[in-house]
Amino acid sequence: MNSDSPMKSFLRVLLRSPGFLLEVLLTIEKSAWLTPIESPWLKHLDKPPQLMGKSSASLHLLLLLLCFVSGSRRYMFCCPTFGRPELDSGCKSASSQVDSAEQGLAAMAAKKVKEVMLKPRRHWVGDGFHVYPVFAHKAFTQDLSPFLMFDYGSPEHFPPTKQQLGVGKHPHRGFETVTIAWQGEVEHGDHLGNKDVIHPGDVQWMSAAKGIVHEEYHSREFAKTGGMFEMAQFWINLPAKHKMDPPRYQPISKESIAVVDLPKGAGTVRVIAGSYEGVTGPAMTFTPIDMWEVLLQKAESSAELMFPEGHNTIVFVKRGKASVGGQGDILNEQDVALLGKVGRTVPVRALADGTELLILSGEPIEEPIAFQGPFVMNTREELMQAQVDYSRGQNGFELR
């Protein structure tokens, strides 16, 4: 929306740094340029400062400017080297002001969209889940870390049936599966005896870690009546040190997920994981992750979402149409934007009423990704070990 030009950014820092301005004014005043005009600014100093020659004043100004432009640390470093202790404290406070102004600017810098991936072709997972593989060719790449895969089952009508639609027993190791149901119901069962139905609005955050053998179906109740079905499943990587942890289930009910208003009545944020404006989501995560559902009420509703520095941020348009990122890339329904790690804010603006976005953002896990079918480890050897363990029913895959 409002990406700052370099000049605007520069002026902003300048205006926020009275110490820097003062130093410039003092130098000009003390230089031979202005003498012998009496100083209105230097009266408070005990010792009358020595006059600077035109050339040393020019050099000082030039250095100040260079230091200022090249970074506040060096500005602080070179400031006192002019041997004028009367300015040292002002100098330090000026530097710290520059620092905080810079941090403020970094916080305001809008992330840019690195790549927009268009709605992919749908495929079936088992006979129950007709999904868009949203991450397409980027799935399981470092570009999306810690997120590995994202299947979105768009709204679809299923007739009543006596069959159990879904995916039968299959293993997982080394990562987490996160399932959200929006319409219809998903039933999970596993070899540890967990059984759970994910109702509309609920989330199931399952850390497979060292091993889960897992079944995923439409719930019996839903199969009986049939109806509209809409869900998503994300695969999220675990860092090496947690890949062989015991499995962990987090059934997260709709009621436990806070819905926060966006400023100016633009819409709402449902905070599943991470935090928005100090409101923390219920999901426990192994690495810092934000998972939010953002609703923009009307076309032209907009918001500035903020994330920690250095995180990979992904914006998926579940419904409607939106402009995303510092350069206002346009995304249609079921397109996804991958934003760079640089910058902290993501401006979003709806281009249709009732635009719904899914936001995934997290600290990248800087480790090799080895994957094969339902296993995600760091090396080929670990994948082979997972195969062996599953086929022998050992080391986390002990079937009852």
Binding footprint of Mn ion on the chain (CB under 5 A):
214
Q: Compute the distance between CA of residue 293 and CA of residue 360 in angstroms, rounded to an integer.
A: 9
Shortest distance (Å) from residue 97 CB to Mn ion: 53
- Closest to Mn ion by CB, 51 vs 125, is 125
| Widest Cα–Cα separation across the chain | 98
Q: Please check whether residue 393 is in contact with residue 358, taking contact to mean a CB–CB distance below 8 angstroms.
A: no
Q: Please check whether residue 362 is in contact with residue 156, taking contact to mean a CB–CB distance below 8 angstroms.
A: no
- Closest to Mn ion by CB, 236 vs 331, is 236
Name residues whose C-beta falls within 8 Å of residue 391's C-beta, 6 or more positions apart in sequence: none
Q: Compute the distance between CA of residue 254 and CA of residue 181 in angstroms, rounded to an integer.
A: 10
- Closest to Mn ion by CB, 188 vs 344, is 188
Shortest distance (Å) from residue 150 CB to Mn ion: 14
DSSP state of 173: B
Shortest distance (Å) from residue 316 CB to Mn ion: 20
Shortest distance (Å) from residue 204 CB to Mn ion: 11
Q: Please check whether residue 175 is in contact with residue 208, taking contact to mean a CB–CB distance below 8 angstroms.
A: yes
AA identity, residue 218: H
- Closest to Mn ion by CB, 138 vs 214, is 214
| N-to-C CA span, the chain | 56
Q: CB nearest Mn ion: which residue?
A: 214
Shortest distance (Å) from residue 117 CB to Mn ion: 23
- Return the H-helix or E-strand segment holding 222: helix 220-225
- Closest to Mn ion by CB, 98 vs 149, is 149
Q: Compute the distance between CA of residue 386 and CA of residue 110 in angstroms, rounded to an integer.
A: 42
Q: For the chain, percent helix, then strand, then coil, each to nearest 5?
A: 25, 35, 35
Name residues whose C-beta falls within 8 Å of residue 43's C-beta, 6 or more positions apart in sequence: none
- Closest to Mn ion by CB, 168 vs 246, is 168
- Return the H-helix or E-strand segment holding 212: strand 212-218
Shortest distance (Å) from residue 172 CB to Mn ion: 6
Shortest distance (Å) from residue 234 CB to Mn ion: 12
- Closest to Mn ion by CB, 153 vs 326, is 153
Q: Compute the distance between CA of residue 234 and CA of residue 153 in angstroms, rounded to an integer.
A: 11
Shortest distance (Å) from residue 135 CB to Mn ion: 16
- Closest to Mn ion by CB, 84 vs 214, is 214
